[in-house]
Amino acid sequence: MEPDGLIDTFGRRITSLRISITSQCNLNCFYCHNEGQNGHESQMSSGHIVNIIKTASKLGVTKVKFSGGEPLMRQDFEDILVAIPKFRNVSATTNGVTLSKRAISLKSAGLDRVNVSLDTLKPQTYASICRCNEDIHPMVLDGIQSAVNAGLTPVKLNMVMLKGINENELDDMISFVRLFDGDVILQIIEPMDFGNYGGSVDMDAIEMDLCSRASEVVERKMHRRKKYLVDGAEVEVVRPIDNSRFCANCSRLRVTADGKLKPCLLVNDNLVDTGSAGIHELETLFYKAVNLREPFYKG
């Protein structure tokens, strides 16, 4: 590793890599940001993914998050996990649809924990958000239970707050999380507008309500996210919109499914294509991408 590792021109150290390993998904959520990527279906070879992750490790990255599309669409996900170096934290964000079949093998292959997207506890609402059959919802609940059983914990439930759709389900979701005795955390997410969502929710009101009920409030270093402990359930709030503190504390570099280093989710004109670069060239490309990083919302 270089003595100083990856530090951008705003002094932000890159310690986290979020890598999309396929653009394919088995759901079609109406608000999806597709990890900021548009267009054609794509995925990298497993060898190239491993080389990118090895490079990140060499340059001081300590956390890797696999995303998609849907990462579990890749049948070689376990092989990729086995081939990468040891990190402090290896996680994946998944819709959980096929997680019950894979939880044990993913854990054995080296995955530490998962985020599972679950916006609602109602199968009908789920079907209308994800534009799928209602039978999918119980499969996701099975996936969450299997992840807990396999030790992919803490499982974080990603709940995107959608105006007029699931706003009233926050308490039910907190009660659901409480059933898992600390193995499941609720992460409520402010929706980002990629031209396909139904308007903003009042996140200030939600946070004030959580704050009034919390026995403890903690601020995480990552993005300065707040965590509330509400009657034994942990609730984390992710608020990226118009949030210069979020950007000032961003330690993440992204990789798109077609192998481009992406300095910011919200910016598309500064991608650095890794093409078929080998390990040495990848290092140079990482530095190039990090030098292009700018806070999207500046203080």
Q: Does 33 bind ligand SAM (CB under 6 A)?
A: yes
Q: Which of 68, 143, 154, 295 touches ligand SAM (CB under 6 A)?
A: 68
Q: Which of 6, 17, 19, 32 touches ligand SAM (CB under 6 A)?
A: 32
Q: Which is nearer to ligand SAM, 67 or 274 (CB)?
A: 67
Q: Does 155 bind ligand SAM (CB under 6 A)?
A: no
Q: Which of 35, 207, 234, 236 touches ligand SAM (CB under 6 A)?
A: 35
Helix (H) or strand (E) holding 272, with range, is strand 272-273
Residue 143, burial from CB neighbour count under 10 angstroms (0-12, 13-18, 19+): buried
Q: Does 191 bind ligand SAM (CB under 6 A)?
A: yes
Residue with tokens 């190039």: 288
**Span near ligand SAM by CB under 6 A; candidates 45-53, 187-195, 220-228, 289-297:** 187-195
- Judge contact between 64 and 92, C-beta under 8 A: no
Q: Which is nearer to ligand SAM, 25 or 235 (CB)?
A: 25
Q: Which of 51, 93, 146, 251 touches ligand SAM (CB under 6 A)?
A: 93
**Span near ligand SAM by CB under 6 A; candidates 99-107, 168-176, 178-186, 192-200:** 192-200
Please report the sign of the dihedral spanned by the C-alpha atoms of residue 65, residue 105, residue 54, residue 69. negative
Which positions ≥6 away from 11 have C-beta within 8 Å? none
DSSP codes, 44-59? --HHHHHHHHHHHHHT
**Span near ligand SAM by CB under 6 A; candidates 31-39, 42-50, 133-141, 222-230:** 31-39
Strand runs labelled E in 35-177: 63-67, 89-94, 113-117, 155-160
Q: Which two tokens stand for residue 94?
A: 């998944």
Can you give the binding site for ligand SAM, defined by CB under 6 A? 25, 31-33, 35, 67-68, 70, 93-95, 117, 158, 160, 189, 191-192, 194, 197
